[in-house]
Structure formats: C-alpha cells, structure tokens
Amino acid sequence: MAAVQETVDRVRQIDVDQYRYGFETLIESEKAPKGLSEDIVRFISAKKNEPDWMLQWRLEAYRRWLTMVEPTWARVDYPKIDFQDLYYYAAPKPKKTVGSLDEIDPEILKTYEKLGIPLREVAILEGVEPRPGEPDTPSRKIAVDAVFDSVSVATTFQAELKKAGVIFMPISEAIKHHPELVQKYLGSVVPTSDNFYATLNSAVFSDGSFVYVPPGVRCPMELSTYFRINERNTGQFERTLIIADKGSYVSYLEGCTAPQRDENQLHAAVVELVAMDDAEIKYSTVQNWYPGNSEGKGGIYNFVTKRGDCRGANSKISWTQVETGSAITWKYPSCILRGDNSRGEFYSIAISNGYQQVDSGTKMIHLGKNTSSRIISKGIAAGKSQNTYRGLVTAHRKATGARNFTACDSLLIGDQCGAHTVPYIEAKNASALFEHEATTSKISEDVLFYCIQRGLSQEEAVGLVVNGFVKDVLQQLPMEFAVEAQKLISISLEGSVG
C-alpha cells in the first residue's frame, strides 16, 4: 500500500490552480520591432555580435523560409499565424554588463526561484544534506542554463564543467568562443532547409544551449536548460546543439514554462544532437508551456524540431519527454541511426486536457548495420483535447539486422476527446525485425471501483491508474525530473473526471 499512500499524499499536495507557472515578471525589456525581414535577421545577428558567417547562414535560411509553406499534415487545428505580428527578439534590458550572477536582474532571479530552478550554484540533494567528510555520497549537481525570452541569463557550474573539459554555454557565446565546433555541427542534423519551422528558427534563433563533451569524458553532472517565455507577443526560437564526442556521455534536461496570457505565443525551437562512436546522449524534456485556459483561449504553439544523429558506431541517443503543456504541440524527436550498432530510444508521455492538441511522436531511421530502436509512447487524452501519436520506423536497404520495438498506448478520459495513432512502418531489408503494438482503452470501471471502495476519491483513483499507465516512461527520467513530472501529470488531469 506504500505506493498508493505516496500517490494519495502527492495528490493532496497539488495546488488548486491548474497552471502554477502562469505569473508574469515585470521587467524592462529590449525588443526588436515587430515582424520579420532581412533587417530583423541582421538586427538579431548584430545584437549578438555575431561573425559574418553566422549572419550569412541566417540570411540563407530566411530566404529559403520565404519560399516555404506551413505544413498541414499534422492533426492540429489553429488559426493562421501572422508571422509579421510577432516580436522575434526580446531581451531583458541589462542594468549593465552581466559579469556574475549577482549582477542579474533580481526580478529574473526571483522568477527562477519561483519556478524552482536554482541559478545559484547550490547542489541539489536527494532529500538530505550529505554528511561532511563522506566523499562516498557525492551531492548531485545540475548545471543550469537559463533562457529568459530570447537570451540566456545565466549558466551555472561553468568552472567545474570546464575542468572536466565539457563546454556548456549559451550558443550565442559558443558562436564567438568555439566557432569551429559550431560551424562544423550547426545544421548538420537539422539542415536549414529541413522544414518550415526549423528554417524559421535557423533565421531568427536568439539563444539556446551549446554542449560539447570531449572524447572519453563522462559529463560529471546533469546539464539542464530552463526556458521561460515572459514577453507578450514574442516568439521564442531557441537552438540547442549537443555534441558527444567519442566514448563520452551526457545527460541533458530541459524544462519550459510561460506566463498565462490570452493570446497565443509561438515557440519554434530546434535541437540537434550528435553522438560519435561509443557516445551516449540522454535528453529529457518536461514541457509545461502554458496550455491555454479551460475555454481554449491562449497558450503556446509549440512547433519543435528535435533530432539526434547517431553518427558513430555503437552510439546511443535516448529521448524522454513529458508533454503536458502548450495549446498545440507539434514535435517528433527523432534518431538517425547511421552508425553500426547504434541505438535510438524514445520514451514519451503526452497528456492533453481542455482544448489542447498534441501531435507528437518520433522517427527512427535505420541506416547502419545492426541498429536498434525502441519506442514507448503513452498518450492520455482528457477534456476536449486531441492527442495523436505519429511515428515513422524505417529500415533502409543496407540496414541489415535493424530492430525496432514500438508500443503506443492511449488512454481516454471522458467521451469528448480523441486519441489517434498514426504509425508508418517501412522495411526495405529482409533482415529487419519490426514489432509494433498499439492499444486504446479507457480506465477500467472495475479498477476505479476497486480503488474507490478502498477509500480513494474518483480523482485519486484516476491519478493512481494514470501513474501506473505512465510508469515505464517516468522511470526513464532522472530522479528530480521524475518527481516533478509526476506532479505535473496529476495537475494536468485535474478536473478531467467527475
């Protein structure tokens, strides 16, 4: 009964308000004029003091973007976005040049405190302080890069990471300090021509995180980026690039929130991962952008391109996502399994409530020999939401010995929502072995009754069942995130029953 009690306690602790990150930080900010043009692209590049090659790269993307049309194949429905009615650059107005954390606007620091993100270099501990003089219980540290609207405001633990040889800094800094790495890898996984939103991002991205883990290094701590959209009418276009060189390992966490606003806001990020021989990247996301209110007003439009390239032999990329926020989610974290024996994983929990629309899934592209992939997707639809899993598994001619296992399960809560599964399974190699299974069901009345008879409320019982339903995926998350994610899941489903 311990697990049940734990869940009951957790449900009790949950705030009553559905979205507790909906506050706004009142600070002065500096914006580019509304709309998008070559001048705006130049403005952003100039603001960042970028070298000319970066500006040219952006301009090429912008020109290409002008020729592209928005994709319409996803099962999401929204009014046409006026791309000229957005701000493409907003930065907190600096009081002076930021040299240390103490010089960051205290309002921003407070914001991150409210969000529970430590920007001071304090160790996050699993429950208790380590006793002094006990080197065997190392404190768990998480290095954080905080992105506030368009710019990175702080990156912690830089010194310690530097000692290990790990580069973790805002991508705007990396462009200046490590141009050879950025030039080599930027756009090598998601080319500027990839898709409408990725191309837009390539033209106007303002900041994001850059990680390089040198050969043979196991990154000494979890790396994390926390994204916050604060400004009104502002698109956020961050760009993340992670390179794990031969034999290295890195675990990276990403969290996102935004204030509650009536109008929709656009978020179009690009994440590129590169894993060389024997390297491993674990990328976890808890996406909790503002989902809009109970009438479907407001919320973030989340059009994200995330792709990992298992470039080297025996490399591994694992995506774990907990998607609870955004009015619209359009995202397919994918793996290109290029290296022989490489492995891709996708673990996803996607919860939709209210009028949320989720169209998410993955692509596993098997190119190398003896590559394997695993997809575990759990979709939960409640309220009047639509929740779609869309996935591609493909084995090319030369991908001998390709293996995939896919399980996508959907749970429906209430009869006003929809759950959809759209898998594409393509085998061009006789030695490929693909297994796919999908189910859609509702929470069993018998199970609910059993729980209720044992004293749980209807909502608690649903929470219990849902936690069981998503357990396989939650287990993939680093500890701190798993607890956070579990809370979020409960909050997201509040008001969905009864």
Partner 1 sequence: MNIAVAKPDKPDTASDNFAAVSARVPGAGKVADTRRQALDTFQRIGLPHRRIEDWKYTDLRALMREVLPLAAAPEATALARAETAAKLHAIDGVRRLVLVDGVLAPDLSDLAGLEAGLSIRSLSEALQAGDDRVLSLDTADPMVALNTALMTDGVVIEVADGTTLARPLHILHITSGGAPAAMFTRSRIALGNAAVATVVESYVAGEGASAYQVHDSAVISVGDHARLDYVRIVEDAPEAFNITSAAVSVGAHAHFNAFGITTGGLVSRYQAVVTVAGSHSEVQTNGVNLLNGKQHADTTLVMNHDVPHCASREGFRAVVDDRGHSVFQGRINVRQPAQQTDAKMMTRALLLSDEAEVDNKPELEIFADDVTCGHGAAVGALDDSLLFYLRARGLPQKEAEAMLIQAFVGEAIEAIADDNLRELVTAAAVRWLEARQ
Site membership for partner 1, residue 432 (CB under 8 A): yes
Stretch that binds partner 1, among 143-151, 227-235, 364-372, 428-436 (CB under 8 A): 428-436
Question: What's the token pair of residue 260?
Answer: 């509650």
Candidates 427, 447, 487, 495; binder of partner 1 (CB under 8 A) is: 427
User: If binding is defined by CB under 8 A, does position 242 make contact with partner 1?
Assistant: no
- Least Å from the CB of residue 9 to partner 1: 28
Write down the least CB distance from residue 62 to partner 1, Å. 26
**Least distance (Å) from partner 1 to the CB of residue 425?**
4
Query: Does 139 contact partner 1 by CB under 8 A?
Result: no
Q: Which of 55, 438, 447, 497 is close enough to bind partner 1 by CB under 8 A?
A: 438
3-state SS, one letter per residue, for the chain: CHHHHHHHHHHHHCCCCCCCCCCCCCCCEEECCCCCCHHHHHHHHHHCCCCHHHHHHHHHHHHHHHCCCCCCCCCCCCCCCCCCCCECCEEECCCCCCCCHHHCCHHHHHHHHHHCCCCCCCCECCCCCCCCCCCCCCCECEEEEEEECCEEEEECCHHHHHHHCCEEEEHHHHHHHCHHHHHHHCCCCCCCCCCHHHHHHHHHCCECEEEEECCCCECCCEEEEEEECCCCCECECEEEEEEECCCCEEEEEEEEECCCCCCEEEECCEEEEEECCCCEEEEEEEECCCCCCCCCCCEEEEEEEEEEEECCCCCEEEEEEEECCCCEEEECCEEEECCCCCEEEEEEEEEECCCCEEEEEEEEEECCCCCEEEEEEEEEECCCCEEEEEEEEEECCCCCCCEEEEEEEEEECCCCCEEEEEEEEEECCCCCEEEEEEEEEECCHHHHHHHHHCCCCHHHHHHHHHHHHHHHHHCCCCHHHHHHHHHHHHHHCCCCCC
- Which residue from 429, 447, 457, 459 is in contact with partner 1, where contact means CB under 8 A? 429
Question: Considering only residues 139, 431, 458, 475, which one is a binding residue for partner 1 as defined by CB under 8 A?
Answer: 431
With contacts defined by CB under 8 A, name the span among 9-17, 109-117, 360-368, 430-438 that binds partner 1: 430-438
- Tell whether residue 410 is a contact of partner 1 (CB under 8 A): yes
Choose, by CB under 8 A, the member of 137, 439, 458, 475 that binds partner 1: 439
Segment contacting partner 1 by CB under 8 A, of 113-121, 218-226, 436-444, 453-461: 436-444
Instruction: Supply the minimum distance, in Å, between the C-beta of residue 448 and partner 1.
Output: 13
Kindly tell me which residue out of 97, 397, 446, 498 binds partner 1, with binding defined by CB under 8 A: 397
Residue 310 CB, shortest distance to partner 1, in Å, is 21
Closer residue to partner 1 in complex, CB, 383/463: 383
Q: Is residue 86 packed enough to be buried (19+ CB in 10 Å), middle (13-18) or exposed (0-12)?
A: middle
Considering only residues 12, 26, 67, 73, which one is a binding residue for partner 1 as defined by CB under 8 A? 73
Angle at 372 between CA 367 and CA 375, to 5 degrees: 110
218/395 Cα distance (integer angstroms): 31
Only segment of 79-87, 169-177, 284-292, 406-414 that touches partner 1 (CB under 8 A): 406-414
Q: Min. distance of Cβ 402 from partner 1 in angstroms?
A: 10
Q: Which of 282/396 has CB closer to partner 1?
A: 396
447 is a site residue for partner 1 (CB under 8 A): no
Residue in 422, 457, 480, 497 binding partner 1, rule: CB under 8 A: 422
Alpha carbon separation from 354 to 11, 279, 328, 404, 495 (Å, rounded)? 20, 41, 12, 34, 9
Minimal distance in Å, beta carbon 469 to partner 1?
A: 14
Measured over the CA atoms of residue 115, residue 118, residue 119 and residue 120, the dihedral's sign is positive
Nearer to partner 1, 26 or 430 (CB): 430
418 is an interface residue for partner 1 by CB under 8 A: yes
Task: Decide whether 424 or 450 has the Cβ nearer to partner 1.
Answer: 424
Nearer to partner 1, 49 or 441 (CB): 441
* Shortest distance, position 389 Cβ to partner 1, whole Å: 9
Examine residue 412 and tell whether it contacts partner 1 (CB under 8 A): yes
- Residue 128 is a binding residue for partner 1 (CB under 8 A): no
Identified binder of partner 1 from the candidate list 53, 78, 424, 450, rule CB under 8 A:
424
When binding is defined by CB under 8 A, the residue of 4, 98, 123, 425 that contacts partner 1 is 425
Residues in contact with partner 1 by the rule CB under 8 A:
73, 397, 400, 410, 412-442
